[in-house]
Amino acid sequence: MAKNKVGKLDTVAIGDQKILRGTGGELHQTAGGDIPTLTTQQGTPVADDQNSLRAGQRGPTLLEDQHFREKIFHFDHERIPERVVHARGFGAHGYFEAYESLSDLTKADIFQRKGEKTELFARFSTVAGNKGSPDLARDVRGFAVKFYTKEGNWDLVGNNIPVFFIQDAIKFPDLIHSAKQEPDRGFPQAQTAHDNFWDFISLTPESINMALWIMSDRTIPRSLRFMEGFGVHTFRLINAEGKSSFVKFHWKPKQGLQSVVWNEAVKLNGADPDFHRRDMWNSIKMGNYPEWELGLQVFDEKFADEFEFDVLDPTKIIPEEQVPVRIVGRMVLDRCVDNFFAETEQVAFQTGNLVPGIDFTNDPLLQGRNFSYLDTQLSRLGSTNFNHLPVNAPRCPFHHFQQDGHMAFHNPTGRANYEPNSWGKQGGPRENPEKGFQSYGEDMEGAKGRYRSETFADHYSQARQFYVSQTPVEQGHIADAFVFELSKVETMAIRERIVAHLLNVDEDLAGKVADGLGLKSMPKPADAARPTITDLKTSDTLSIILNGPKSFKGRKLGALVTDGVDIDLVDALKTAVEKEGGQIEFVAPKIGGVKASDGTLIEAGQKIDGGPSILYDAVAILVSKDGAAALAKQPAARDFAADAFAHCKFIGYSEEARALLEKAGIWSDIDDGCKMLSKKSDGAAFIDMCRDLRFWDREAKLA
């Protein structure tokens, strides 16, 4: 993997900014005029704030990089006790079941025996918002799993998006500072629609690929159960013979992929800011256990050398068409926590928690994360003994000489608290070269310095590949998201710089965003360190719509009912939903429920003004004639129908519902995504329709 080449800095212009750029495309915004020189806290001038100190361009980060250590150390300790990032989370217990032995690839004990189950704890989270922020913020979702293996804890700490904003961890404090609420005013929270964030993105070309991902529907998932997870970085697998393979980790939801539309997300945050938490809690409590399959993309040095991009670059993916994902096991979440604080809040994940058979690569973002997490846990949990907490403690035997410290639950027993010692069996544990963790013996050479490999320099090609791999509906959502976010940006130059970057991704996308912003003229394309590769093959796996649920299993139907509703229609629909493995919830004018046509009481799960259609994957409106007339006078009932239609949901309705649908303004636009339910068999036919995500054909007509 000899991809090293040192080059010099050159001056480029991005909009109104004059900036130095290295061979890797990284930016160096230089002091000049009245701008002071950046220094460390000790006053030492900083020459390079874009790259950590490494042994060779593609080598590991060096421990002696005190500027990076100071910067990340201070960042990790900015908040107590709330997490600086990923503060709002939901955790659950479960297990991992191996489908096969992977002894040919790795000696990791968890992958040695087919059918063996390993206890685990998973936590899902938003990134930018504080603990009290809403679940449906447009944001990356954290996806972290702690495996309690027989050889120690392995933490796979990832996201629901396979790439990241930055290539070097030294920029992580800057990224998060820009995304968080602006420091002079304390807002906005849990959203990136403000000047600071887009200013940073506009001056950081390596972030453009991630910008496309975060403006997609990936950042507004319908449920945590319906999103993918990724390890993001390239890791190594090492087998018993010492042979190494590269690997990327994937979590594939067995429920399929599903997201909401933006208008729906905004309303969900108002109707139920705990929507994702409640959905996961209820699903597990009902026995509808969420499942994901673990997949591996495994490749060798030859592929890494020939691949169009650098496999150590965390802003890039390896398309599944080039390296197929090998499914090797499944994760099942089958138990909610007993206490949220003790488990979900105190769980401590670390990228550095590996087990024999799994190892790091020189990905500079991963190397920096390995520095960062211990600092974070000390600040947040208050002691170096955070691993004594039950949720963090390994389930296998553990022995060491570490002692004392704040809240030490376990101290070494006996005379020896050091090694080597001469006390024999009473002298405590000893290292084991055969079973112990050993880093892969990778050959390394290179000059010590701060630089970015030129193999990291292509910032637009994969962004284009992601965009053209989306369906037209999803492409429209991406353009709309850019327009919404940039409309909140007050500085015109920032808007123009983002459009300038988008011109290097796709001219049609840039045109739509520029038109939506009302730009009077199109800016020039941003200077690019590498020209955009326009003929990368599309990848269907990058689309949500093309990978949606194949059934209504695990999804929820909201049925609006009134007194006098036809009991046969209700029973038929309920039977069809439950047969499919879905859930039905009745919404009524009063929480006490309604009396059906035969006098049966139908209990309501929601009152109409507390159960809007945004809470459901599809809706049915089963009402009597008098009931429809009464509902037509209620704004909440009209919104129930109108929102479901606007959000392209499938709608089932009884003939008597016409009065409500007319008042909601949708009767004249009834389409093939709506089905009249007049006989028992219609219930099953309607649920068959609902197996698709949405009736997307409606969206173009509503535009």
Q: Which domains does the chain have, with CATH numbers?
A: 1-53+63-396+457-548 (2.40.180.10), 551-702 (3.40.50.880)
| Residue (of 489, 459, 471) closest to 545 by Cα position | 471
Pair 182, 491: CB distance under 8 Å = no
Of the residues 51, 67, 153, 159, only one is catalytic, namely 159
3-state helix, strand, coil in the chain (%, to 5): 30, 20, 50
Among residues 86, 194, 477, 647, the one annotated as catalytic is: 86
Cβ atoms of 586 and 567 closer than 8 Å: no
Q: How far is CA 5 from CA 454, 455, 658, in A?
A: 7, 8, 70
- Structural contact between residues 677 and 622, judged by C-beta atoms closer than 8 angstroms: yes
- Taking the chain (703 residues) in runs of 10, the rounded mean pLDDT of each run is 46 58 60 72 78 89 82 72 84 98 97 98 95 95 96 95 97 96 93 97 98 98 97 97 97 96 97 97 96 98 97 98 98 97 93 93 95 86 88 89 84 85 86 85 89 95 98 98 98 98 98 97 96 97 95 96 96 96 96 94 96 97 96 97 98 96 96 96 96 94 84
| Token pair 């000899």 in the structure block, residue | 2
Catalytic, 400? Answer no
Given this model, what pLDDT does residue 7 score? 44
Main-chain phi, psi angles of 583, to 5 degrees: -130, 145
The verdict on whether omega for the bond into residue 81 sits within 30 degrees of 0, i.e. cis, is: yes
Cα distance between residue 510 and residue 502, in whole Å: 5
- Look at residue 360 and give its three-state secondary structure: coil
DSSP state letter for 342: I
Is 159 designated active site? yes
| CA proximity to 295, closest of 468, 158, 148, 123 | 158
Distance CA 631, CA 561 (A): 10
Say what the pLDDT of residue 13 is.
59
CA–CA gap between residue 256 and residue 228 (Å, rounded): 9
Per residue, what are the HEC states of 68-130? HHHHHHHHHCCCCCCCCCCCCEEEEEEEEEECCCCCCCCCCHHHCCCCCEEEEEEEEEECCCC
Checking 420-428 for CB contacts under 8 A at 24+ apart, the result is 428/399, 428/401
pLDDT of residue 414: 86
> 410 is written with which tokens?
């376990």
Residue 279 confidence (pLDDT): 97
